[in-house]
Structure 1
């Protein structure tokens, strides 16, 4: 309980400060652009979601190009995943378990992660409707294999980050190319979602038969 209270006392004020000064922070990032500064910025915004992260990716892609914008967005999300994993594995395990129980529809994904960590995390990262913070919290709370979790997270995030970073820079100038990439991304999402639903159905059938 004391750990949870300390976490709230640290997290909530920081979240409020970042929300109040979010515009100033984005202006600062443009005037002090470097891989290090932008990676720190994206890590902070991934942990403290005062702005939609897809918007952050698009803004970085627009301001610094799809390569630099996409790279620092990817690194930021990976570092945030690592931090969240560590916090909930070693400091807030009970709190993480309570948080996960409040999220509807997570039971099937939980079973998938326990049985097939790599493929389950990979699918979860690709499907937008699955809360990404919930994946991070579960990975730490359940003590999922670290490297399977991190590699699957890195691969699963690549398509969406590449899309939003490219669109942020090129949507206005190259709408047809952007639309083509978006269609390919949607097809990947459909395949990922179908695989996810199929696996959930198999899990449900096993539970009903047991």
Structure 2
């Protein structure tokens, strides 16, 4: 199974970019999926811009699909996911009152998994246009950072990797602090 997965994501096949894109779409719909690792790996197999485009488009399409599924079919599942976690209820209240800003901040600062944001936005009153705009603007810095890490690792530029890792770690700590504040 591991060998099959590596065949799909490595850039040795004629349509590897398509397989990588489809895997990124699927993975971005799963809570707690290793999107950063996959994004860095995909970017390490391409020039920077194609790697970034595969990662960004894959996560955008996956987010959009889960948002639409949540809005149309998964409402009960999304509400169950929401009620099990107190901090998600507070995030739901925030997203109901400030939809665009809540989605944007949830994307930039890792308060909760991307799939959770998609599910909550789908059952809330966040409009399609606001969701897409906030998702694009919020995902761009982190997907850019993950893609840059992968590309720089492949090039052996470890100083750049360290700087980006510190940036991502700072975002992670900020997200944990906000999550802890909302859990009270």
Output the TM-score relative to the length of structure 2: 0.81
**Contact 1:170 1:178 survives alignment (8 Å):** yes
Q: Which has the larger radius of gyration?
A: 1
Is 1:136 the counterpart of 2:112? The answer is no
**Contact 1:123 1:192 survives alignment (8 Å):** no
* Aligned counterpart, 2:8: 28
Q: Structure 1 residues 32-41 or 85-94, which shifts more?
A: 32-41
Quote how far apart the aligned CAs of 1:101 are.
0.7
Q: Structure 1 residues 85-94 or 165-174, which shifts more?
A: 165-174
Quote how far apart the aligned CAs of 1:50 are.
9.2
Alpha-carbon distance in 2 for matches of 1:94, 1:51: 22
Quote how far apart the aligned CAs of 1:104 are.
3.2
Paired residues, number: 180
**Contact 2:28 2:114 survives alignment (8 Å):** no
Residues 196/170 of structure 1: CA separation in 2 closer, same or farther (3 Å cut) = same
**Contact 1:159 1:185 survives alignment (8 Å):** no
* Residue of structure 2 aligned with 1:66, choices 25, 41, 48: 48
* Aligned counterpart, 2:156: 173
* Aligned counterpart, 2:27: 45
Q: Which runs of 5+ in 1 are unaligned?
A: 1-20, 205-210
Is 1:147 the counterpart of 2:121? The answer is no
**Contact 1:65 1:165 survives alignment (8 Å):** no
Quote how far apart the aligned CAs of 1:186 are.
5.1
Deviations, residues 183-203 of structure 1 (Å, cap 9, x unaligned): 44556x389759968x96xxx
* Aligned counterpart, 2:64: 82
Q: Could you say what the CA RMSD is over the residues aligned between the two structures, in angstroms?
A: 3.0
**Contact 2:31 2:114 survives alignment (8 Å):** no
Q: Which runs of 5+ in 2 are unaligned?
A: none
